[in-house]
Every structure is written in C-alpha cells, then in structure tokens.
Amino acid sequence: MNQASGVFNPLGDDDGNHAKPQDSAKPATVKRPLLEFAGVDYFLNYVEPPGFLLGGDRHFSRGSVSVLAGMPSIGKTGLMLRLAVMLATGRGTWCGIEIKARVRVVIFQSENDDERFSKEFQRMRDEGLLTEDINEWLRISKIPLCGLDLERAEFRAIALAEMTAFQPGFVMLDPWNSAAKKDMIDDYQRAFEALLSLAEVLDEPPGWLIVHHLKKLKVDDFKLRGRSLMALLAGSYLINSRPRSVFVAMEESPFVHEPMVIVTCAKNNNGKDGQRAAMRRDGSTLLDISESYDWTAYDSGELLGGRPGGSNAKVEFHHLEEIFDHGKRWLHKNDATKKLMEVASCGHSTAYDTLSKVKSRFADKLRVRDGGEMTIESPWPDEDDE
C-alpha cells in the first residue's frame, strides 16, 4: 500500500508508472476494427469469452453501459467507489450483485476532493476491502480544471494517454452533468459519443458506469417500483435508452426519520432486473442491510402513510376533526392537505384525495364554501365558524 511520510495516499503515485498487471477478466480476443460484420454461423457458434461477464446476471459486462442515478447527497459516490474497489479486487457483492471478475478501473470525476477520497479509502482499508496491489488496478482523476469536458482537445489528450497506458476493463464517469452540459438530446448524444470513443485506444472494450442525478422528486414518486423508476432520471430519454442496465438509489420515504436508501436495478436488458438492496447510512457510507430489512412495509406503502396508488385507508375521521377543529376551522384545500399529512403521517396524494368531494370516503362529511375554503360537518352553529 502506497504510503508517503506516514500519510495514506489512496490515489497512488503520480509518477506516470501505471503498471498493467495480468487482467483476470481480459477476453482472449484481438483489438477490434471500427466496424465488423459477421454471418449467421458466427452467432450460432458464439461462445462468450472468459472475463466478458463482470458482475451479476450481466448487470456489468464488457462493452455495456450502466447508469447509477440517485437523489442529491444520497451516497452515489460511496456506492460508485465500492463498486470500483470490488471490480479492482475481483471480489465482493455490490447491492446484491456478485462480482465475477477482476479488472482495472479508471474513474473520471469532477466533484470530490482528495480529503473525501482519503476518508472513503481509509474506511475501506480498515474493512479489509483493499488489496496490497490496489494502485495497480484502480486510478481516479483529481478534480479537473475544466470539468469533464470530453470534447476539449487538451482533456482528451490526457484522458487517452491514461487509457492507453492503463488499459482499464471498466470506466466510470461522475457526474454525467459535468460531461453533458445541457439536458437536450443533442448534448447527451455528443457526450455519449465523446465518452465511448475513449475506448478506441484500448485492446478490449471496457464496461462503463455513468453516475447521474434524479429529477426533483414529488411525494408520489416514492411509490414507484421496478422499471417505472427510470422515469425519475433527469434529462433526455437517452440516459435511459442507451445504457443496458440502470440502477436507481432513493430514500424509502420522505416521511421517515433517518430513512434507509433503496437501490433498485430498474433495467437490465442483458439479464434479470428488479434486484433491490436496502442500505443504511453510516456517515458517508452505505451499509447493506437487505436481509433484515422490512420489505413488506416498504412495498405496502406503510412508510408513505398509505398504499401505493393513493389509497386514503390510513386516514381516519378523527384526523379530520383535529385539523378542522371539529368543524369550527375553515382551511383552503392546500393548507388542509399539509396539515393532514402531518397529523396522519400520510403522503400528499393520500391527504389530497381524502379531502376530495369526489374521491374521499368522508365526502358526505366535507363542507366547501365560496372561495374554496373547507371544513367538516359540525354540530356547532355557523356563527361560531372561524
């Protein structure tokens, strides 16, 4: 392990000595031309090269792009680094996905400083996750002066030199919006082409991981499960369509104190999707607690104060009596919705539908007057109304 003056340096020496150890996941093929064609017999007799599969049921494989998307500050960097270390050591299970081979990993990143990485790697070293030769298998960029400007000549020259010397089997980029400057389809297309073209100097095609953000979430978004989670990714649809696998990390509920983080494989075109992992925050690290997690409560919608789909079964009439002071208090529907969410610990849709004169099972008890204010039926005289 590289040490300098007694200080642990997880990024290794900057002397340009990029050792290229034998890669256990390097397919026994030759460098491919830019474009190839093959007949039917080729595909009928195709045998997957050793080391092509990197993790899970083809969740990660050479030549395929994956996306890890998540809410801001949810722990995407920590998840990315742990996956990088597992691939670089050829061992471990990431969010329920078993790593199948050992490959060299390069990370292009523009957000995290040396101190952040130092803490992350020190913790992984203390957990025994790092090998003595980790510097020969994992390289990480420091924050570049120009962001991840993949089309800038100077940036590409440095990136291509690193890729040529190190010959990674897996490449990560964090975050996507540092490479794709806007959310238009043309910007995403150019960023994809600029990123994937870095592999032209490699002997073998690598696997890819792009770290991305989710759009601003609404309460109802926390009800989504499975492939529907892909609708939450920010920006152009290309960030969903181009990758072969997509992972979404989000909190289990906006109403739970210290919520767990749920990581879902929302898409896997090459194999099985739908795998989920429940993670508990421990500082900046996410620890897998999937085996002990209450998936029944999560899937039932209990953590959202109702069932997925907007049922108001969790709201009782005494909650309405409390927010409307037994019919003496008039509130606009938006204000009443917020108060009902608080007293009944329910989601926005549940509260809103409960106050609907059409959808609510308490519709015959609701009163609405000119101006949009509402309350409930009460034995109190109208002159006592607030």
CA neighbor of 191 nearest in space, from 170, 165, 169, 212: 212
CB 123 within 8 A of CB 77: no
Q: Give the Cα separation of 1 and 215 in Å (integer).
A: 40
Q: Where are the alpha helices (DSSP H) in 40-180?
A: 40-44, 76-89, 114-126, 153-166
The pLDDT tens digits for 178-221 are 999 888 889 999 999 999 999 999 999 999 999 999 999 988 89
- Predicted confidence at residue 354, as pLDDT, reads 86
- Predicted confidence at residue 11, as pLDDT, reads 38
Non-local CB neighbours of 241 within 8 Å, separated by 6+ positions: none
Q: Give the Cα separation of 18 and 323 in Å (integer).
A: 66
- Predicted confidence at residue 255, as pLDDT, reads 79
CA neighbor of 204 nearest in space, from 45, 98, 44, 54: 54
Task: Using the Cα atoms of residue 121, residue 125, residue 127 and residue 128 in order, give the sign of their dihedral.
Answer: positive
- Predicted confidence at residue 314, as pLDDT, reads 65
Give CA separation, 65 vs 196, 238, 366, in Å: 9, 12, 53
pTM assigned to the model: 0.72
The pLDDT tens digits for 130-184 are 999 999 999 999 999 988 999 999 999 999 999 999 999 999 999 999 999 888 8
**Tokens representing 194?**
């600029």
Q: Give the Cα separation of 123 and 126 in Å (integer).
A: 5
Q: Give the Cα separation of 72 and 89 in Å (integer).
A: 28
- Predicted confidence at residue 85, as pLDDT, reads 98
- Predicted confidence at residue 318, as pLDDT, reads 87
Low-confidence ranges of the chain (pLDDT < 70): 1-32, 305-314, 349, 359, 379-386
CA neighbor of 134 nearest in space, from 85, 77, 207, 83: 85
